[in-house]
Structure 1
Amino acid sequence: MASKSTSLQKYVKLEKNQKLIEFAKENLNHIPSDDNNWERMISGMLYNPEAENLAITRMKTRDFQLDYGNFRFRDYKTTDEYSTAKREYLETFIGHVGEGTFMEYPVYFDYGFNTYLGKNFYSNFNLTILDCSIVKIGDNVLCGPNVSILTPLHPIEPYLRLTPRKEVLESAKPITIGNNCWLCSNCSIMANVGNNCVIGANSIVSKDIPDNSLFLGNKIIKILEETDTNENIEALLKEYGFYDSRK
C-alpha cells in the first residue's frame, strides 16, 4: 500500500540550495560560518529551530532590536545625524543595509543577518521579518505600519510539527521583493513580489506577484502601466507647488 502524502513531501526541499548559500556568503554580514543547520534552514530543508546555535542567535537579535529603541533625537544636532546613527546601528545585526535606509521602531527579526535591504528602504512602525530563509528587498521599497514578511513553513500535520523526541520540525522559503514597491499597512508577504508593485492594505500575498502589479486583498486588480522615468519630475513638482510648501 502506498504511503500517504504529507506536507513534508510537498513543501520541503531535499538538498541544499547552493546558489542561495553563495548569495548569502557574498552579500550578507554576520552569517554563521560553515553551519550545516543554518544552510539547511535557508535552503528550505527540514531543520531544528531549537538547535542551540540558532536559539542563542535569535535571543541576541532580540537584544539588538530592543536596544534600537534607545535612540533619542535630542542627542543629535540634525535629522541626518540621527538617521545615519540609526542606520549604522542596524548594520550591526542585519545582513545588508542599503544607503538611505530608515526604519521606525519597533522592528522585529528572527535573525536579521538573513535579510538584505536595498537602497532607500523605509519601514513604518512594527515591521516584522521572519528571515529563517533569505529575504532580499530591492531599492526604494516602502512599508506601511504592521507589515509582515514571513519565510517559515510548518507541517500541516500535527504529528510532524513535533517529533517523538520533542524536536521541532520547520522549513523556510526565501522571499524576494523587487525595486520600487509599496507594501501598505497590515499586509502579509509570504511569496515573491516583482518590481514596481503596490500591495494594498490588509492584503495576503501567498503566491508570486509579477512586475507592475496592483494587488488588493488576495488577487491582482490590474497591471500598472510603466511610467516614463525620464519625465522632468522637478518641473512637475514645481507646477504643483510642492517646493512652495516646503518654505
Structure 2
Amino acid sequence: MTTDPRELDVRRRMAAHELYADGAPGLEGLAEERTRGKELADAYNRTGARDEEGRRALLKELFACLGTGVWIEPPLHVAYGNRVHLGDDVYANFGLTLVDDVEVFVGDRVMFAPHVTVSTTGHPVHPDLRRDGTQFSAPVRIEDDVWVGSGAQVMPGITIGRGSVIGAGSVVTAHVPPMVVVAGSPARVIREITDADREWSYRPPRTVRRGAA
C-alpha cells in the first residue's frame, strides 16, 4: 500500500463517496492496480473453453473473493477486479462489465445474462466538476438468487434484494426490494414474486399491437 499522501487522500475520498480524480500525478499505486486487473482479465479472455483450471486460477487472482462453482463466460471486463466479491455458484454470461472502483458484492447463485454492466462509479452532472475526469464511487450489493437480465445496467450505490429479477435492458437507479420483478429505464417494480411462480410453463410472447392513428 502506498504512503504517498495524495494517493491516500484519493483512496479516502473513494471510500467516503466524495468527489475525486484518479488520474492525477502521485497515484501510481491506483494506476498499477487498474493495469494489473486488466492484464488478468485479458489473460482470462484468452483462455480456452476447456481450460477450467486455468480460468479459475486467474479469477482467484483477479477478484477479492471467489466462491465455489463460479462460471464466467469471456469476455469479462473490469476496472480493477480486486474490489469484486463473488459468492458461490455465480454464473455470468458473455460480456459482463464490472466497474469496481470500490467494492462490488455478489451473493450466492446470482445469474448475469449477456452484456450486463455493474458500475460503482459516476460523474457529477455539472461540466465544471468533471472536466478533469472527477468522479464519485459507492459500493453495489447484489444479494443471493438474483437474476440480472441481458443488457441491464446497475448504477452506483445500489442494493438488489435477494431473489429479485432485473428485466432485460433495465437501468437500475434505486434500491430493489427482495423478491420482485423490476424492469424499465429507470427500473420500476412490475410485480412481486410469489409461490404462484413455482408453477412454471412457457408463455409465448404477445404480438405488439399497432397504436391508434
TM-score bracket relative to the smaller structure: 0.7 to 0.9
Query: Which of the numbers 127, 140, 143 marks the counterpart of 2:109?
Result: 140
Contact 1:181 1:195 in 2 (8 A): yes
After TM superposition, the structure 1 = structure 2 runs for residues 124-163 of structure 1, keeping only pairs within 5 Å, are 124-162=93-131
1:181 aligns with 2:181: no
Distance 1:170 1:69 in 2: 28
1:47 aligns with 2:28: no
Query: Which of the numbers 85, 94, 100 marks the counterpart of 2:69?
Result: 100
Partner of 2:211: none
SS of corresponding position for 1:87: helix
| Greater gyration radius | 1
Distance 2:134 2:179 in 1: 36
Partner of 2:204: none
Question: Cα distance 1:84–1:120, how it changes in 2: closer, same or farther (>3 A)?
Answer: farther
SS of corresponding position for 2:43: helix
Amino acid aligned to 1:121 = V
Question: Cα distance 1:100–1:39, how it changes in 2: closer, same or farther (>3 A)?
Answer: farther
Structure 1 position 92, deviation (Å): 0.7
Structure 1 position 33, deviation (Å): 6.7
The CA RMSD measured in Å over matched residues stands at 2.2
Superposition TM-score, scaled by structure 1 size: 0.70
Partner of 1:64: 40
Distance 1:227 1:85 in 2: 42
Query: Which of the numbers 170, 176, 179 marks the counterpart of 1:209?
Result: 176
Distance 1:168 1:56 in 2: 18
Amino acid aligned to 2:123 = H
Distance 1:199 1:84 in 2: 31
* More strand as a share of residues: 2
Task: State which drifts further: 36-45 or 147-156.
Answer: 36-45
Identify unmatched segments of 5+ residues in structure 2: 199-213
Amino acid aligned to 1:169 = T
Moved runs in structure 1, 4+ residues, more than 4 A?
A: 32-35
Amino acid aligned to 1:89 = L
Contact 2:45 2:76 in 1 (8 A): no
Distance 1:205 1:110 in 2: 20
Percent identity between the aligned chains? 29
Question: Cα distance 1:227–1:54, how it changes in 2: closer, same or farther (>3 A)?
Answer: farther
Query: Which of the numbers 165, 168, 190 marks the counterpart of 1:198?
Result: 165
Superposition TM-score, scaled by structure 2 size: 0.81
Structure 1 position 226, deviation (Å): 5.3
Contact 1:41 1:172 in 2 (8 A): yes
Contact 2:37 2:82 in 1 (8 A): no
SS of corresponding position for 2:159: coil
Would you say how many aligned residue pairs link Structure 1 and Structure 2? 188
Identify unmatched segments of 5+ residues in structure 1: 1-31, 75-81, 232-247
Q: Deviation string for 1:146-165 (max 9, x for gaps)?
A: 00001112111101113xxx
* More helix as a share of residues: 1
After TM superposition, the structure 1 = structure 2 runs for residues 211-230 of structure 1, keeping only pairs within 5 Å, are 211-217=178-184, 218-225=187-194
Distance 2:38 2:176 in 1: 31
Structure 1 position 168, deviation (Å): 3.2
Question: Cα distance 1:115–1:226, how it changes in 2: closer, same or farther (>3 A)?
Answer: farther
